[in-house]
Amino acid sequence: MISELFTAFAVNFLAELGDKTQLAVLALSAKNRQRWRVLSGAVAALGFATLLAVLVGNAISGFVGQNTLKTIASLAFIGFGAYTWLSKGEKEEKIKTGKSALISSFVLIFLMELGDKTQLANLVLASTSDAYGVFVGAFAALALLTAGAVFLGKKLGEKFDRTVVRKASVIVFVLVGLAMLFL
């Protein structure tokens, strides 16, 4: 179990470093004051997505094609960018302080992880190794990287005006969504 844990940690850490998920967490934490809610939502989503990959990922991939999962995640990114662009100051304030930061972080990150390279890697690792070790190693790597992205997002949010951060978030979300669709 220990070797599976370390293998899953290394694979997930390297695969997720600088990935679209981390960029999304960074953008979300830069514009939300309640960053612990962003962190909680993102880590819960990553844990749930990892658990799905380890337990039932193989069955899901038999019913839903990789392209469909990629399209859903891409449209979620673009939709979240559009929502952020259209939201006004009072709505943005609600997102920064309300429970919706946790929920929107969970939904966005979970949808992004469906069919992601880390989810597929965890599926393969779990099919040939101890599933518990794979889950623990993968989850530890993803949680560590997410905490780092939230910390960096907090620092960026403190240095820049909230309007600038919101507009930058829109650009990041839409560009990543478009890249996922066409690359």
pLDDT for residue 152: 87
The confidence band for 128, taking pLDDT boundaries of 50, 70 and 90, is low
Domain count across the chain? 1
For residue 65, tell me if it sits in a domain.
Answer: no
For residue 37, tell me if it sits in a domain.
Answer: yes
> What number is the average pLDDT over the span 8-22?
81
Q: Is 88 helix (H, G, I), strand (E, B) or coil?
A: coil
For residue 108, tell me if it sits in a domain.
Answer: yes
For residue 92, tell me if it sits in a domain.
Answer: yes
For residue 158, tell me if it sits in a domain.
Answer: yes
Q: Is 64 helix (H, G, I), strand (E, B) or coil?
A: coil
Q: Name the residue with tokens 């990150």.
A: 109
| Range name among 31-35, 145-149, 161-165 with the lowest pLDDT average | 161-165
90: tokens are: 């009072």
Tens-digit pLDDT profile for residues 72-122:
667 876 877 787 688 654 444 443 445 678 898 999 899 888 877 788 788
- Residue numbers of the domain that contains 155: 2-58+87-170
Q: Name the residue with tokens 């920064």.
A: 96
Closest by CA to 168, choosing from 26, 17, 20, is 26
For residue 142, tell me if it sits in a domain.
Answer: yes
| pTM listed for this prediction | 0.69
For residue 67, tell me if it sits in a domain.
Answer: no
CA 48 to CA 117: how far, in whole Å?
15
What phi and psi, each to the nearest 5 degrees, are found at residue 131?
Answer: -60, -40
> What number is the average pLDDT over the span 15-43?
84
> What number is the average pLDDT over the span 27-41?
86
For residue 183, tell me if it sits in a domain.
Answer: no
